Amino acid sequence: MILFLYGEDSYRSYRKLEEIRAKFLRDIDPSGLNVTELDGEKSELGDLQAALASAPFLAKKRLIVAKGFLAAAGKKDGEALAAQLDRVPEDSILVLHERASGADLEDSPGYRKLKDGKFYPEFKPLGPKELQAWIVAEAKARGVEFSNEGLAAYVPLAGTDAWKISSELDVLSALARASGGKIVPESVREIAHLEAEESIFDFLDAIGTRRPDLAIQKMENLLQQGETEVSLLSRLQGHVRGLLVAADLAVLGQATKDRLARELGVHPFAAAKLVSQSRYYKPHELEALYVWLIDADEKLKRGGWPKPRLALDLFLARIAERSVA
């Protein structure tokens, strides 16, 4: 027996996979001894063939979950995998799970064999009306409801990433339960604030890993969300200082996350990122950037920039250079 789950909406396909797994554990093998999961990026076709050849242990069937095998298989393995699909034993349930769309899998011999079969429909990103209905249903599954105003406030901000929406609904549902009411606009605004904070970290990470093109994109998003040039320059100054301290400790052979966390008074996770990102720069480059940011901040306070945005643009141009003088 073959079950085929595929499509770009990996959240909903993963949920379906978990339903299949739960049903197998409930109805066939509560012990879980007959469940095998293989990742196509790490496993060979032979591993899948061996799993299919194994007999069930004290149960009627085995469940083999093969993730990403169609997408990962080359031309030779792709043909062999397609042939293997004709030889799945009756005592095995093979679940093929792919994050790719049908269009992306079109060159796979296995996909061409499966695409006209009677399987679950492709998990495509939901359209606007479907998405709103899904959001309402997901909230109800968490035991809460949106107020009309809350739904109107959230839907335009939700996007189409079901993983992100699910995470946000967890937070919104917790806020609604704590207040004993529905999901209201105030809670949605709180989520939007948290998302903006996350975007700031994405911006700083792009600076730390010396990706100016990505940093420009993140900066534009932040400015559109209402962040000011002054606040971004302040965050940049703090981040570059952290990178500089990490680089100085590296010269001394003491660049550990715990030591840096103590020096800066930050969480070890943040310190670990700074240690990693500091390797993208030479110590003298970070020193020059830090001094430049201090001067830029003072100039900004004196009204010396024609437009505050110019300071950000010039800074991003400097990190794009191979060497910062």
Residue 213: give its domain's CATH number.
Answer: 1.20.272.10
- 191 located within any domain: no
CATH number at residue 62: 3.40.50.300
69-83, 127-141, 190-204, 295-309: segment of lowest average pLDDT: 190-204
| pLDDT tens digits along 239-267 | 999 999 999 999 988 888 888 888 888 77
pLDDT of the residue at 193 = 61
CA distance 76 to 70: 12
Question: Which tokens sit at 181?
Answer: 């009411």
Q: How many domains are there within the chain?
A: 3
**By the 8 A CB rule, do 222 and 316 touch?**
no
- 14 located within any domain: yes
Query: Three-state SS across the chain?
Result: CEEEEECCCHHHHHHHHHHHHHHHHHHCCCCCCCEEEEECCCCCHHHHHHHHHCCCCCCCCEEEEEECHHHHCCHHHHHHHHHHHHHCCCCEEEEEEECCCCCCCCCCHHHHHHCCCCCCCCCCCCCHHHHHHHHHHHHHHCCCCECHHHHHHHHHHHCCCHHHHHHHHHHHHHHHHHHCCCECHHHHHHHHHHHHHHHHHHHHHHHHCCCHHHHHHHHHHHHHCCCCHHHHHHHHHHHHHHHHHHHHHHHCCCCCHHHHHHHHCCCHHHHHHHHHHHHHCCHHHHHHHHHHHHHHHHHHHCCCCCCHHHHHHHHHHHHHCCCCC
Same domain, 161 and 247: no
- 177 located within any domain: no
Answer with the residue of higher pLDDT: 267 or 142: 142
Q: How confident is the model at residue 194 (pLDDT cuts 50, 70, 90)?
A: low
- 190 located within any domain: no
Same domain, 271 and 167: no
Q: How confident is the model at residue 235 (pLDDT cuts 50, 70, 90)?
A: confident
Same domain, 132 and 110: no
Q: How confident is the model at residue 198 (pLDDT cuts 50, 70, 90)?
A: low
Same domain, 100 and 141: no
What is the rounded average pLDDT for all residues in the chain?
89
206 has pLDDT over 80? yes
**By the 8 A CB rule, do 95 and 64 touch?**
yes
pLDDT of the residue at 258 = 87
pTM of the model: 0.59
Q: Mean per-residue pLDDT for 139-159?
A: 90
Same domain, 224 and 287: yes
Same domain, 210 and 306: yes
End-to-end CA distance of the chain: 65
322 has pLDDT over 70? no
46-60, 156-170, 177-191, 193-207: segment of lowest average pLDDT: 193-207
Structural domain harbouring 159: 128-172
Instruction: Kindly list the distances between the CA atom of residue 165 and the CA atoms of 139, 154, 161, 169, 198, in Å, as whole numbers in the listed order.
Output: 10, 10, 6, 6, 15
Nearest-Å Rg of the Cα atoms of the chain is 26
Same domain, 109 and 155: no
CA distance 131 to 118: 25
- 181 located within any domain: no
- 290 located within any domain: yes
Same domain, 144 and 226: no
- 104 located within any domain: yes
Same domain, 39 and 85: yes
Same domain, 53 and 165: no
- 57 located within any domain: yes
Same domain, 202 and 313: yes
CA distance 13 to 171: 22
Same domain, 51 and 26: yes
Q: How confident is the model at residue 196 (pLDDT cuts 50, 70, 90)?
A: low
Instruction: Kindly list the distances between the CA atom of residue 177 and the CA atoms of 4, 87, 144, in Å, as whole numbers in the listed order.
Output: 37, 51, 7
